[in-house]
Amino acid sequence: MIIEQLKVGSLENFCYIVGDEESGQAAVVDPHGEIDRIMDLVEERKLTVRYIVNTHTHWDHVAGNEMLKKRTGASILSHPRGGVYRDGEVDHGDTISLGDLKIEVLHTPGHSPDSICLLVDKKLMTGDTLFIGECGRTDLPGGDSEKMFSSLFQVISTLGEDIEVYPGHDYGPRPSSTIGYERKHNYTLEPRTKQEFIRFMAEP
Ligand SMILES: [Zn+2]
């Protein structure tokens, strides 16, 4: 299995190329921009992009969707609550197949109603739900600290300590981590009741 992490644009966005070596099929997650760079790597790895998947539809995660679709003919997939053009919907429990490789979709609202995480081969692409050392903000339109609490503590944290975390932005001291490391070192994942977490997220 191939996973490539590319930092693209000026907002520290991470775009991911997930590929199945055997079938040569790939998905590009959150193509913010720099489509030429993404395509160079896709071609170098001899992959065919079948899907463009958005972890949520804030503009910085979808800005390159159209251009990448034009270049590859790939189908754009996002959560039904998302606000931009898509060819297909993916929701909690769905899988996206690249040959025999399966990407599992987890609905993790909180940063936005349409936020999803993508789990493939013990690697979790977390979009703007969980960063290294931080979690996504919940004060933008559609944000919800109560839902973020459930997403972080009842969905993501329960996946297993050895799952690798691949965030949607390079906001931390390192580009990727593990759930075990984040549970120990990420101050947003310290044990809190739901009420405490909601108050914590409202602090300036
Ligand atoms: Zn966002």
What pLDDT, in 10s, does the model give residues 96-145? 999 999 999 999 999 999 999 999 999 999 999 999 999 999 999 999 99
Phi and psi at residue 108, to the nearest 5°: -130, 70
Q: How far is the CA of 77 from the centre of ligand 1 (A)?
A: 16
Phi and psi at residue 91, to the nearest 5°: -135, 175
| Best CA proximity match to 109, nearest among 154, 64, 62 | 154
pLDDT of residue 202: 96
Q: How far is the CA of 181 from the centre of ligand 1 (A)?
A: 23
Query: Do residues 24 and 47 touch, judged by C-beta distance below 8 A?
Result: yes
| Best CA proximity match to 130, nearest among 81, 189, 196 | 189
Q: How far is the CA of 23 from the centre of ligand 1 (A)?
A: 32
What pLDDT, in 10s, does the model give residues 46-73? 999 999 999 999 999 999 999 999 999 9
Crossing angle between the packed helical segments 35-44 and 65-72, to the nearest 10 degrees: 40
Residue type, 51: Y
Residue type, 7: K
204 pLDDT more than 90: no
Q: How far is the CA of 56 from the centre of ligand 1 (A)?
A: 7
180 pLDDT more than 90: yes
Q: How far is the CA of 5 from the centre of ligand 1 (A)?
A: 18
Average pLDDT, the chain: 97
What pLDDT, in 10s, does the model give residues 147-165? 999 999 999 999 999 999 9
Q: How far is the CA of 22 from the centre of ligand 1 (A)?
A: 33
Domain containing residue 140: CATH number: 3.60.15.10
Instruction: Say if pTM beats, i.e. exceeds, 0.85.
Output: yes
Range of the domain at 116: 2-202
Q: How far is the CA of 115 from the centre of ligand 1 (A)?
A: 8
Query: How many separate domains does the chain show?
Result: 1
Q: How far is the CA of 98 from the centre of ligand 1 (A)?
A: 26
